[in-house]
Amino acid sequence: MCVVCVRPEWQERERARGACRLCRRAIVLRELAQHGSITLGQDNPPGKAGQVASGQGPASAGAPFDANRAHMARVYDFWLGGKDNFAADRAVADQVAAAYPDIRIAVRAQRAFLARAVHFLVTQAGIRQFLDIGTGLPSANNTHQVAQAAAPQTRVVYVDNDPIVLNHARALLTSSPEGATAYIDADLRDTGPILERATAVLDFGQPVAVMLLGILQGIPDQEEPGAIIARLMDAVPSGSYLALTQIAGDVAADEVAKGVQRYNDQAAAPVAARTHAEVGRFFSGLDLVEPGVVQVHRWRAGTGDVGSGRNLAIYAGVGRKP
Ligand SMILES: C[S@@+](CC[C@H](N)C(=O)[O-])C[C@H]1O[C@@H](n2cnc3c(N)ncnc32)[C@H](O)[C@@H]1O
């Protein structure tokens, strides 16, 4: 029975989500109407607000909300010191950290990479549009904040499939007056709808940076993550970029394998570690920006950057579409 409308006839598959689809949709739309599902600056073309909105499909596109199973966004939030997580997330996070103690530094190094990569893309590559898939819960230095600090007119579309991230989307939907931010509730696998809805904010005739940070490990090889990337990069013009990170399977391999096993035993959806060669193949058809695919704390980092001197098991890279 739906906890909101007490409708008895809702579908069985909705049971784990607490409220029925209609109520969840109504709640999300009301929240988005209150807080704005999209923020456009005054100088932006009129008529685009609201064309990109979470809640256009089911209230959440991803795994059903379940506080008793660990979810990637909430476990990551816990490692980063956030408060949007439940006991199940914290238990798994601690067990993974017991197997691979550097995980907390590694995820902070991933956030630092995000900031360095976005800054590079804006200030050196001239990028003014971002499609950030696998947004995560709002943290310090979100993509639009880093980008708009350097180029206020930058437009950012965030995409995530987690219902908790959706609930916090309004925190991401701030923007400089000249730029724009939007949020799409969707699964990375659904590239067609993502690209279609993103056109409300992004001009796919101009270069776009596609960000896939900390998300590809959730796409198993059978689901062909390389083909998903290819579909996204086919949709953007020459001069566009791909930035990604992925858990490494060949750095601290035994500890990482144990950590992945513990996570997969309890989490709502499994993850997979990948080797340097496998991550390199994600960039096929693109020109890798120096220094190529490297450990996340080594990508254009300075001394004193997070993770400096460590041996962190996350790979990172940025590639340009020729
Ligand atoms: C580890 S967090 C990374 C957050 C951020 N990109 C960063 O690097 O700090 C991964 C995010 O991807 C989201 N995610 C995982 N699988 C997804 C999928 N198939 N489609 C959309 N989002 C997904 C999770 O909900 C989570 O918010």
Query: What are the residue boundaries of the structural domains of the chain, listed by start?
Result: 46-320
Contact (Cβ atoms closer than 8 angstroms) between residue 252 and residue 102: yes
pLDDT reported for residue 152: 98
Q: Pocket of ligand 1, candidates 66, 212, 213, 215: which has the most ligand atoms within 8 Å of its Cβ, to mutate?
A: 215
pLDDT reported for residue 201: 97
For ligand 1, say whether the CB of 134 is within 6 Å of any of its atoms: yes
Name the pairing type of β-strands 155-160 and 129-133: parallel
Confidence band of 213 (pLDDT split at 50, 70, 90): very high
For ligand 1, say whether the CB of 162 is within 6 Å of any of its atoms: yes
Q: Closest ligand 1 atom to the C-alpha of 245?
A: 8
For ligand 1, say whether the CB of 77 is within 6 Å of any of its atoms: no
Residue 249, both tokens: 């399977």
For ligand 1, say whether the CB of 215 is within 6 Å of any of its atoms: yes
Contact (Cβ atoms closer than 8 angstroms) between residue 25 and residue 37: no
Ligand 1, atom 24, residue with closest C-alpha: 73
Taking the C-alpha atoms of residue 70 and residue 86, their distance in angstroms, rounded to an integer, is: 8
Ligand 1, atom 4, residue with closest C-alpha: 136
Which ranges of the chain would DSSP assign to H, the alpha helix?
21-35, 72-79, 87-99, 103-123, 143-150, 163-167, 169-172, 191-198, 225-234, 253-266, 276-281
Architecture in CATH of 46-320: 3-Layer(aba) Sandwich (3.40)
The answer on pLDDT for 114 being more than 60 is: yes
Report cis status (omega within 30 of 0) of the bond before 193: no
Taking the C-alpha atoms of residue 20 and residue 14, their distance in angstroms, rounded to an integer, is: 6
C-alpha pair distances (Å), 90 with each of 85, 145, 210, 214, 271: 7, 28, 30, 18, 17
Contact (Cβ atoms closer than 8 angstroms) between residue 217 and residue 314: no
Ligand 1, atom 8, residue with closest C-alpha: 213
Confidence band of 21 (pLDDT split at 50, 70, 90): low
Taking the C-alpha atoms of residue 201 and residue 157, their distance in angstroms, rounded to an integer, is: 7
CA of 124 from ligand 1 middle (Å) equals 26
For ligand 1, say whether the CB of 72 is within 6 Å of any of its atoms: yes
Ligand 1, atom 11, residue with closest C-alpha: 134
Contact (Cβ atoms closer than 8 angstroms) between residue 147 and residue 171: no
CA of 73 from ligand 1 middle (Å) equals 6
Please give the mean pLDDT across all residues of the chain.
Answer: 86
Only one residue has tokens 């784990």, namely: 16
Q: Average of pLDDT values for 135-158? A: 96
All residues at 6 or more sequence positions from 76 whose CB lies less than 8 Å from its CB, including other chains: 107, 136, 137, 214
pLDDT reported for residue 61: 72
Percent of the chain predicted with pLDDT > 70: 81
For ligand 1, say whether the CB of 76 is within 6 Å of any of its atoms: yes
Taking the C-alpha atoms of residue 312 and residue 247, their distance in angstroms, rounded to an integer, is: 9
Phi then psi dihedrals of residue 182, to 5 deg:
-150, 160
Q: Average of pLDDT values for 213-224? A: 98
CA of 133 from ligand 1 middle (Å) equals 7
Least reliable range by pLDDT among 68-77, 168-177, 198-207, 289-298 = 168-177
Q: Average of pLDDT values for 116-144? A: 96
Taking the C-alpha atoms of residue 305 and residue 40, their distance in angstroms, rounded to an integer, is: 33
Comparing C-alpha atoms, which of 320, 51, 48, 112 is closest to residue 210? 320
Q: Closest ligand 1 atom to the C-alpha of 71?
A: 25
